[in-house]
Structure 1
Amino acid sequence: MTATVPSAARRPESPGDSPSLRIARSALATSGHLADLDAFHDWFTDCGRRFAMEVGVVPLDALRGWRTDPATGDLRHESGRFYTVTGLEVHTPGAPVSRWRQPILDQPEVGVLGILAKEFDGVLHFLMQAKNEPGNPGGLQLSPTVQATRSNFTRVHGGSRVPYLDHFLDSSRHQVLADVRQSEQGAWFYRKRNRNMVVLVTEDVETLDGFCWLTLGQLHRLLAVDDLVNMDARTVLSCLPFAAAGLSDLHGGPAPDPFTAALVRSCEPGATDRQETRELLNWLSGFRSGREDRVLPVPLRDVDRWRVTDGRIVHEDGAFFSVMGVTVSAAGREVRSWSQPLIEPCDQGVCAFLVRQREGVLHLLVQAKAQPGFVDTAELAPTVQCTPSNYDVLPPGARPPYLAEVLSARPDQIRFDTVLAEEGGRFFRARNRYVVVETDEDHDTPRDGYRWVTMAQLSELLCHSHYLNVEARSLVACLHALSAGLRPDLETAFRH
C-alpha cells in the first residue's frame, strides 16, 4: 500500500518552516507515502468485515449495569462513572420559547481526542483508526488515534488498555501541534469537554491492526464521503494551526478558481483587517454578558412534557429527540459487550455557513449561539444550525434566520455539501447535512447576534477553549479541505 508523494508536497523542510506550513504541505499531498485512497478504501472495507458490531435496541430498564435512581429518576451507571441521563431546566428571557425542561447527558469527566502525526519522506501523515460505535449510522468510521473518556482510559470497564494513549497523557517528549479543551453538543451534553490534541512524533511507531497513516490531503478528500470521518476526528483536525502566511505559494500556481483563491487568502493572517480578533472577542463577550439565561439541573423525574413510552424517553409532541437503550457486541474493542443509553434525534439536521467574497477574501457569517449545555453561555456557531422539522411544533418566531436561504440555495452556490454523522458513542444515528453556501444576498448588516469573520480569525480562536462549537469546528475542517483544492465537482467521485 504505497504511493508516490506529489512533488509539491516533497519539498525539503527548512529549519524556519512553521508547523502550519508543514500542515499546509500535507494538505496538498493527495497520495500518501503509505497508501493511496484506493488502497485505503480496500483496507477500510476489510476492517469493516473484521470489526463487526451487533447493536440491539432494548428498553431503558433492561440495560445491564445501569440503574434508575429511586430518588431522582436519573439513569446512572452502577460504577458511578461514564455519564448520567438527568434533567435540565432552561430559562431564556425574551426568546420565542422562554422556558423548557429536557433530558440531558451529564458527563463531567474530560476525555482525550488525540491524533498522532509523523513525517514520512518529509510529509506529515496522521494516524487514524477505523472504529465502530453503536450509534454510527453506517458502521465503521475513521476516528482519531485515541478517542477515549477518562472512564475508558482508566479502565473502569475492566477492558484492555487504550492503544497509543501514553503519547497524549505524557507529551513532554514530543512536539505538540494542538492541545485545547473544546465543548461538545450544547443541546445534548451538560458542560461536556474533551481535550483535542495533535502530537508530532519522530520515533518509530508500530501501526497496529485497525490503524493507518494518511496525509491531511487524503483526510480532506474523505471528508466528502458521507458518514466516513467521524465527529471526533473532525474537531481535532479543525484545531490544527492551518492558517499560514504564504499558503498561496504552496499551490504551485494560481488557485483553480476565484472562490478557492479567496478562501486561501482568508486563511492567511493579515490578509484582511475587516475585524480584529480583539473586536470579535469583545463582541462575543458582550453577547454572553448581556444574556440572562438560567440553566438549572433538575431530577429527570421532574422533566415535564417528556414521557417513558415503549421503553424510551420521548417528548409528548414526538419532536426533538428521544433517549433509548442499546446492547452491543463488538470485535476489536477494549470491551467486547456492554449496554448503554443513547440520544436519538428525531430527524436530520442542517449546519451551514453562508460565505461571501469581499475584496478578494472569503468571509463567513457566524452566529453567537447560546445552548444550555455550554460552560460559558454561548459559542460561535455556523450561520444555520438546527433540525428544521423541530420548528413545526415551535412558534413561528423561533425559526432560525437564514435557514430559508440555505435550503433554497442554487447548485452553483453550494461549495460543500456532505452528510456527516455525530458522535456514535452517545448519539444514535445522529446526522447533519454540512453545507457551505456562497450567498449573493446583501448581508452587509447582518442580524443581531451574527458577524462576518475570516478563516484566519477562526483558526486563531481555535487555539483557545470554548469559542467555536463542535458544529462550527466540523465546517472549519471542511473549509480547510476546500482551500487545499477539493472541488465540489470531485465529491461524487470520492463518495464511492
Structure 2
Amino acid sequence: MSSCLGPPPAAPVAVRPRKDRSLAGRLALSAAARRGVRSRTEDVHAWLAERRRAHVFRVDRIPFAELGEWRFEPGTGGDLVHRSGRFFTVEGLHVEEHDGPYGDGPRREWQQPVIRQPEVGILGILAKEFDGVLHFLMQAKMEPGNPNLLQLSPTVQATRSNYTRAHRGADVRLIDHFVRPDRDRIIVDVLQSEQGSWFFRKSNRNMIVETAGEVPATDDFRWLTLGQIAELLHEDDMVNMNARTVLSCVPYQDTSPGALLSDAQLLSWFTGERSRRDVRTRRVPLASVRGWKHGVEAIEHEDGRYFKVVAVSVRAGSREVVRWDQPLIEPVGTGVTAFLVREIDGVPHVLVQARAEGGFLDTVELAPTVQCTPGNHAHLPEADRPPFLDAVLNAPEARIRYQAVHSEEGGRFLNARSRYLVVDAEGTGAALDPPAGFVWATPAQLRALTRHGHYLNVEARTLLACLNAMAIRTRGEV
C-alpha cells in the first residue's frame, strides 16, 4: 500500500549567501591586532634564531657532475632532469614577442634556460580563532636558495611531488587541510602564477583555510595575527615569497570610494593589452640554447647578465628529506621592484604595467611600475632602459614610503633578492595619462583581481601584500 503513495517529496534546495559577510570584520580585527594571543611579534626573531640552532643547515655549490639525483638527459637534447622524472626540469625556451594590434609591431626574440614544472603545488596557510581573533599558522621553513636559509613561510608549501612523497621522505605536515579542505571554511583558494621569466607556465594553488579543530603544536610553527605579519613584512628577508603571494589574496573589505578607471574600464584596458601582444614560445633543447655557455659549475649568459643555472648539495634537518642535491637559478645582481603611487581626488592609486614574460600562461600580467635588475640594462642608452627606472633609483628618501629587501622563491632560486619599493610619484614624470602599457589602478582594484588567477604577477602580489601591510601599520586596517 505504501508503494502507491509514490516517492517522498524532495528536500528543498537551500541557497546560501555568496559571501561570508562576517569575514571582512574578522579579518579587520586580526589586522588591528598587533599583539597575538599565542606569541608576541618581538619574539619571532628569537624563535627563528632558535630554530636555526636546532637543526643542521648547509648549502654547498657543487659541479654538475656531482649531482647524484639529476643528470643532463641526452635523449632530450641535454635537458637537466631528475632521475624519477618528477619535480621539475631545466630546459631551453625560444621566445618571440610582437607588439601591435595585429602582431606587426616591434619584435623581440631570444632564447634562455627555463624551469618547467607542470605540476601544481600548494601554498596554504591555516587560520584559527583564539580569543575571538583570527590567527594564521606560519612555518619557520628552510629553503636552500634563501640567503638566510630560514624565513616565515605558509603552513604548507609543497609541490605535488613533495606531498605524494616522490622523494621517499616524511609526510608533509598538515597537508590534509588543503588537499581535502572543508568547503565551508575556505577563505582563499586561487591559482596564481610564478615568475614568468624563470618558470614556464608555472602555477601554485594559493589557499587560506580555517579550522576549528586542534592543531598539534610543533616547534617549527607559530600562530600570528595579520597585524603581526604586517609588521614583519617591513623587515628584510623575513617573510618568504610563498607567504607573500598567499597574503596578497586576503579578501579585505573594499572601502575605496572610487577610482580613476571603473572596474569595467580597467578590465577592458587589460584585455586590450592581452589582445594586442603576441608572445610565441616553444621549448628547445637546453644544450642548444643560443647565447648561453655551459661550464663545469654553471650555465650562464655569454655577456655575464641575467642569471645562471648552478647546482647545490643541501643538508636540512627540519625538512621531509634531510639530504638532497638540485639545480637552482641564480640571478646576476639584486633586482628593483617598485610601485609609483599618487593620490587622485584623495584616493590612492598605483601605476601598473601590462608585462609580457616568456613563461606566462596568457601573454601578459599586471606588474609593478618597475621590475628589473638594473645591471642588466646599465649598458643601454637611457631611451632603451625600462620606463621610470631612473626615477625610482634616484628617488629621495623623503618620497620612499616603503622599502625592504625580499627574497624570491628559495626552493628554485639562489640568492634571488629584490629591493621592493613604494615611491611617491611626485616629480617622476608619471602623469595621469601614462605611457602605453601603463595604467593607474587602486590597491582595492588589485585586491579584487587576486581573486582570479593570472591577473597580477608574483612581484605585483608581493607589493600588494606590502601595501596592505603599510595600511595596517598606519591605520590598523586595510
Relative to the length of structure 2, the TM-score reads 0.91
Matched residue, 2:329: 343
Q: CA deviation at 1:309?
A: 2.2
2:218 pairs with 1:208: yes
- For 1:205 and 1:215, locate their aligned partners in 2 and report how far apart those are by CA, in whole Å: 16
- For 1:273 and 1:483, locate their aligned partners in 2 and report how far apart those are by CA, in whole Å: 18
- For 2:228 and 2:200, locate their aligned partners in 1 and report how far apart those are by CA, in whole Å: 34
User: Structure 1 residues 372, 395: closer, same or farther in 2, change over 3 A?
Assistant: farther
- For 1:128 and 1:51, locate their aligned partners in 2 and report how far apart those are by CA, in whole Å: 18
**Could you tell me whether the CA contact under 8 Å between 2:259 and 2:441 is conserved in 1?**
no
- For 1:274 and 1:318, locate their aligned partners in 2 and report how far apart those are by CA, in whole Å: 42
User: Structure 1 residues 98, 17: closer, same or farther in 2, change over 3 A?
Assistant: closer
**Mapping for residues 35-434 of structure 1, pairs under 5 Å:** 35-71=39-75, 72-93=77-98, 98-172=108-182, 174-244=184-254, 268-269=255-256, 271-393=257-379, 397-434=383-420
User: Structure 1 residues 102, 380: closer, same or farther in 2, change over 3 A?
Assistant: same
2:471 pairs with 1:466: no
Q: CA deviation at 1:438?
A: 1.0
- For 1:69 and 1:89, locate their aligned partners in 2 and report how far apart those are by CA, in whole Å: 19
Amino acid at match of 2:55: F
Matched residue, 1:445: 433
Q: Which moved more, 1:370-379 or 1:392-401?
A: 392-401
2:390 counterpart SS class: helix
**Could you tell me whether the CA contact under 8 Å between 1:174 and 1:199 is conserved in 2?**
no
- For 2:90 and 2:381, locate their aligned partners in 1 and report how far apart those are by CA, in whole Å: 28
- For 2:381 and 2:164, locate their aligned partners in 1 and report how far apart those are by CA, in whole Å: 46
- For 1:398 and 1:155, locate their aligned partners in 2 and report how far apart those are by CA, in whole Å: 47
**Could you tell me whether the CA contact under 8 Å between 1:367 and 1:382 is conserved in 2?**
yes
User: Structure 1 residues 312, 185: closer, same or farther in 2, change over 3 A?
Assistant: same
2:74 counterpart SS class: coil
- RMSD between superposed Cα atoms in Å: 1.6
**Could you tell me whether the CA contact under 8 Å between 1:146 and 1:163 is conserved in 2?**
yes
Q: Which runs of 5+ in 1 are unaligned?
A: 1-14, 245-267, 488-496
2:29 pairs with 1:25: yes
1:293 counterpart SS class: strand
- For 1:435 and 1:237, locate their aligned partners in 2 and report how far apart those are by CA, in whole Å: 18
- For 1:20 and 1:470, locate their aligned partners in 2 and report how far apart those are by CA, in whole Å: 24
2:98 counterpart SS class: coil
Q: CA deviation at 1:310?
A: 3.7
Write the deviation string for residues 318-369 of structure 1: whole angstroms up to 9, x where unpaired. 1000000000011011001001000000000011000001111100100000
2:473 counterpart SS class: coil
Amino acid at match of 1:26: S
- For 1:97 and 1:337, locate their aligned partners in 2 and report how far apart those are by CA, in whole Å: 45
User: Structure 1 residues 78, 408: closer, same or farther in 2, change over 3 A?
Assistant: same
1:79 counterpart SS class: coil
Matched residue, 1:484: 472
Q: CA deviation at 1:21?
A: 2.3
Q: CA deviation at 1:173?
A: 5.6
2:377 counterpart SS class: helix
Count of residue pairs the alignment pairs up: 449
- For 1:192 and 1:28, locate their aligned partners in 2 and report how far apart those are by CA, in whole Å: 34
User: Structure 1 residues 301, 397: closer, same or farther in 2, change over 3 A?
Assistant: farther
Q: Which runs of 5+ in 2 are unaligned?
A: 1-18, 100-104
Q: CA deviation at 1:93?
A: 3.0
User: Structure 1 residues 304, 37: closer, same or farther in 2, change over 3 A?
Assistant: same
* Percent identical: 52
**Could you tell me whether the CA contact under 8 Å between 1:363 and 1:454 is conserved in 2?**
yes
Write the deviation string for residues 401-425 of structure 1: whole angstroms up to 9, x where unpaired. 0111111111111110000000100
- For 1:287 and 1:167, locate their aligned partners in 2 and report how far apart those are by CA, in whole Å: 38
Q: CA deviation at 1:97?
A: 7.1
Matched residue, 1:262: none
1:318 counterpart SS class: coil
User: Structure 1 residues 438, 145: closer, same or farther in 2, change over 3 A?
Assistant: same
- For 2:25 and 2:250, locate their aligned partners in 1 and report how far apart those are by CA, in whole Å: 11
Amino acid at match of 1:225: E
Amino acid at match of 1:30: R
- For 1:449 and 1:437, locate their aligned partners in 2 and report how far apart those are by CA, in whole Å: 19
**Could you tell me whether the CA contact under 8 Å between 1:317 and 1:393 is conserved in 2?**
no
Q: CA deviation at 1:302?
A: 1.5
Write the deviation string for residues 235-283 of structure 1: whole angstroms up to 9, x where unpaired. 0000110233xxxxxxxxxxxxxxxxxxxxxxx24x1142222221111
- For 1:449 and 1:467, locate their aligned partners in 2 and report how far apart those are by CA, in whole Å: 15
Q: CA deviation at 1:392?
A: 2.9
**Could you tell me whether the CA contact under 8 Å between 2:278 and 2:363 is conserved in 1?**
no
- For 1:393 and 1:449, locate their aligned partners in 2 and report how far apart those are by CA, in whole Å: 24
Write the deviation string for residues 172-211 of structure 1: whole angstroms up to 9, x where unpaired. 2651110000000000000000000000111221222200
**Could you tell me whether the CA contact under 8 Å between 2:140 and 2:151 is conserved in 1?**
yes
**Could you tell me whether the CA contact under 8 Å between 1:371 and 1:378 is conserved in 2?**
yes
- For 2:114 and 2:474, locate their aligned partners in 1 and report how far apart those are by CA, in whole Å: 37
Q: CA deviation at 1:39?
A: 2.2
- For 2:215 and 2:85, locate their aligned partners in 1 and report how far apart those are by CA, in whole Å: 35
Compare CA radii of gyration and give the structure with the larger one. Answer: 2
